Structure 1
Amino acid sequence: MSVCLLTFGESMVSLRAGGPLANGGTLNMQVAGAESNVAIGVARLGHSAAWAGAVGADPHGEFILKQLRGEGVQLHHTVHADRSTGVMFLEQRTADLSRAFYYRAGSAGATISRGQVAAALDGGTRILHLTGITPALSPEARDAVEYAAERAAAEGVVVSLDVNYRSKLWSRDQAGAVLGPLARHATIVIASDDELDLVAVPPDGNGEATSPADEARAAAHLLELGVSEVVVKRGAAGAAVHTADGLLEAPAIPVTCVDTVGAGDAFTAGYLSALLDGEDVAGRLKRGILAGAFAVSTRGDWEGLPRRDELALLDSARGSTQR
């Protein structure tokens, strides 16, 4: 059965500590994963969403599947008998700094394969959402991402690519070598302002997009390659979208920030849900920023993401500016 959004990748168990892990204390178990975060966010906003992936035959994997089902996410999953579900420890080191420690090498999630993704795509989807995390997990996972992007683009499916660079998985050079070619299949590229160089090195420059001019050149390069929308997440400074019609920018919504984990995924879920609703670029940008504001003002990767009838609770966004 066709869904509005399909995504795939690794979901892990996140064990959160309220202070330094070395001090011990109580840990709170949650589900973590950029792709499943987006699937949950889209489902909460009223659209059908599916996640494909693998978990271990262990309580952690069972916990993940129960949580995703409970949020209305459809599953295309396998349970790996010989590999464990990945685990992440997250400590709140200071009020403004959290640190993650991963135990995911050789995990079940890294076994996502072309065949599994093909079966999920056979069901049909309007949007295929990919991240730069999944191809870093294993050669098998990279092959699955490249196959999915090429197939979906050829079939006229909207392909969304969130760069989501993870330095603990691979170097910037390694990421750029994979994600640059991958971006050519994308309809929408989503990146933080310090990630654009991983998918688009402007012809007259190189390195991170550290200025508005660098960002504009990188975005123009992607648009020339066939990308329709280049969405730039700027954190507390808001977000922007580059299209053939120009640049649209919007500020962040002032909220009390308590946890930035998952904020980028929340923005992406809001943006893509508005696309599914037929909103224009300004409407997508506004909803993305709204969802991001919910995320940073609540704790957890996805627990504070809004449902459709809750969007108005923070709907005080200032107007966007077109230029």
Structure 2
Amino acid sequence: MEKVDLLTFGEAMVSLRSSGPLAQGGTLTTHMAGSEANVAVAMSRLGHTTKWVGRLGEDPHGEFIRRQLGAEFVEGQITVDPDRATGVMFLEQRTADVSRALYYRSGSAGSEISPLDLEPALAESATILHLTGITPALSANARMAFERAAAGAAAAGMMVSLDVNYRNKLWSREDAREVLSAVAGYAQIVIASEDELNLLAPKGSAAADSGSDAGVAGIAAELLALGVNEVVVKLGADGAEVYTLAGKFHVDAKAVSVVDTVGAGDAFTAGYLSAVVDGESIEARLVRGNTLGAFAVSTRGDWEGLPNRAELDLLSVQAMGSTQR
């Protein structure tokens, strides 16, 4: 079987979204959520072949996720667990600028993904194995799968991408640093926001204790010395930058009207990795990442408003507030 452009794994959940305070009741809308699935869907829309590996419950929520992945042409290697439920999260839009997530995923089917679940997909290989720091926080089995997948993919010559994606409701910064800094050396591409980057700093690094600009540059230099090729730093409204041995590259964010920031980081990551697969330059990778991030924040949902390849220039050629006719 021909290898896919992107292989990823983790937990996909049903996200029940509220447009106001959950405590006041009201209508909920049903969506698929999960960082790794978001990236797979976004890259699939851009014409790449993608595979998501995970475990789902034998329940309507699991069936919903299978249908969503199939509709987006993401190949699913899915284990159905009859004894555990599919994870659920509630997303409450508390104000126009603040959303809150409430997780009901402890002991879920997805949290118990294991190295055995990954073996067939890893054997078939991929251009990129994409990992996030969410998966190893879910369980001991998930952490083992994460660590073995990183080492195995690197040994097999696959490109490894690691997005920190730190979630403080799942684990502490200390626990995250212990796991993620040990795995970072397997990655060719690491992706983090400024406040996450020190979770990748090699153990004992003085730079790991600094959140300053000098700290970011210092951590990037240490990661490059470990063999990482590209240290990608997401800067939100200020765009994004990449540190490489050839220097630092920066591209500003696209100006759009922000309606929903959930999923923006995953969209950026998908755009960046899409351009990597296409062999684009560092600057072009940043531009595509920022483009998908702009689509994400200017539309509602984690991934529903993301573009197909024909729409990548839409935000550049279409005037703000206009209608394409």
TM over 0.5: yes
Task: Show structure 1 runs of 5+ residues with no match.
Answer: 317-323
Q: Secondary structure at the match of 1:257?
A: coil
Shift of 1:115: 1.0
The reply on whether 1:215 has 2:177 as its aligned counterpart is no
Structure 2 gaps of 5+ residues are 318-325
Two-structure CA RMSD over aligned residues (Å): 1.2
Q: Secondary structure at the match of 1:304?
A: coil
Amino acid at match of 1:107: S
Partner amino acid, structure 2, of 1:282: E
- For residues 195-210 of structure 1, the aligned pairs below 5 Å read 195-200=196-201, 203-209=205-211
Does the 8 Å CA contact 1:194/1:208 hold for their aligned counterparts? no
SS of aligned partner of 2:31: strand
Alpha-carbon deviations, 1:232-287, whole Å to 9, x = none? Answer: 00111110000000000011111000000000000000000011111011111110
Q: Secondary structure at the match of 2:107?
A: coil
Q: Hey, what's the Cα distance between the residues in 2 that align with 1:53 and 1:167? A: 22
Map 1:173-212 onto structure 2 (within 5 A). 173-200=174-201, 203-209=205-211, 211-212=212-213
- How does the TM-score come out when normalised to structure 2? 0.95
The Cα of 1:157 is off from its aligned counterpart by 0.5
The structure-2 alpha-carbon separation of the partners of 1:87 and 1:199, relative to structure 1 and needing over 3 Å to count, comes to same
Q: Distance in 2 between matches of 1:315 and 1:159?
A: 31
Q: CA shift at 1:124, angstroms?
A: 1.7
Q: Matches of residues 99-110 of structure 1 in structure 2 within 5 Å?
A: 99-110=100-111
Asked if the contact 2:49–2:74 (Cα under 8 Å) also holds between the matched residues in 1, the reply is yes
CA contact (8 A) 2:207 2:219 kept: no
What is the letter of the counterpart of residue 216 of structure 2?
Answer: E
Tell me, in whole angstroms, the C-alpha distance in 2 between the residues paired with 1:73 and 1:255: 28
Q: Distance in 1 between matches of 2:281 and 2:116?
A: 35
* Separation in 2, partners of 1:57, 1:290: 37
Aligned to 2:28: 27
Could you tell me which residue of structure 2 aligns to residue 242 of structure 1? 243
> How much does 1:212 deviate?
1.7
Q: Deviations along 1:166-224, whole A, 9 cap, x unmatched? A: 00000000000000001010010000010011001583343252x22111001001001
Is residue 184 of structure 2 the alignment partner of residue 170 of structure 1?
Answer: no
The CA distance in 2 between the partners of 1:204 and 1:298, in whole Å, is 40
How far off is 1:23 after superposition? 0.6
Runs of 4+ with >2 A deviation: 201-209
**Aligned partner of residue 89 in structure 2, secondary structure:** strand
Q: Identify if the C-alpha distance between structure 1 residues 258 and 223 changes in structure 2 by more than 3 Å, giving closer, same or farther.
A: same
C-alpha distance in structure 2 between counterparts of 1:306 and 1:155, whole Å: 32
When normalised by structure 1's length, the TM-score is: 0.96
Q: Is the 8 A contact 2:201 2:207 kept in 1?
A: no
2:321: which partner in 1? none
Matched, 1:277 2:305: no
Q: Deviations over 1:143-166 (max 9, x none)?
A: 111111001111111000000000
Matched, 1:149 2:150: yes
Counterpart residue type for residue 183 of structure 2: L
What CA distance in whole angstroms lies between the structure 1 residues aligned with 2:254 and 2:24? 35
Name the SS for the 2:313 alignment partner. helix
Tell me what 2:10 maps to.
9
Distance in 2 of aligned mates of 1:117 and 1:305: 28
Distance 2:88 2:146 in 1: 22
Aligned to 1:122: 123
The separation in 2 between residues aligned to 1:70 and 1:205, in whole angstroms, is: 44
Q: Is the 8 A contact 1:38 1:268 kept in 2?
A: yes
Instruction: Return the letter of the residue paired with 1:134.
Output: T
Q: Distance in 2 between matches of 1:78 and 1:203?
A: 40
1:88 aligned onto 2:89: yes
Residues of 2 paired with 1:52 and 1:303: CA distance? 20
Is 2:216 the partner of 1:226?
Answer: no
User: What letter corresponds to residue 163 of structure 2 in structure 1?
Assistant: D
Gap change, CA 1:4 and 1:114, over 3 Å in 2 = same
Identical aligned pairs, as a percentage? 61
Amino acid in structure 1 at the alignment position of 2:75: Q
Contact 1:195-1:208 at 8 Å conserved across structures: no
SS of 1:301 mapped into structure 2: coil
Would you say the 8 A contact 1:290–1:315 is kept in 2?
no
- Partner Cα separation in structure 1 for residue 120 and residue 18 of structure 2: 38
The corresponding residue for 2:323 is none
Paired with 1:234 and 1:22, the residues of 2 have a C-alpha distance of 33
Match of 1:321?
none
Amino acid in structure 1 at the alignment position of 2:209: G
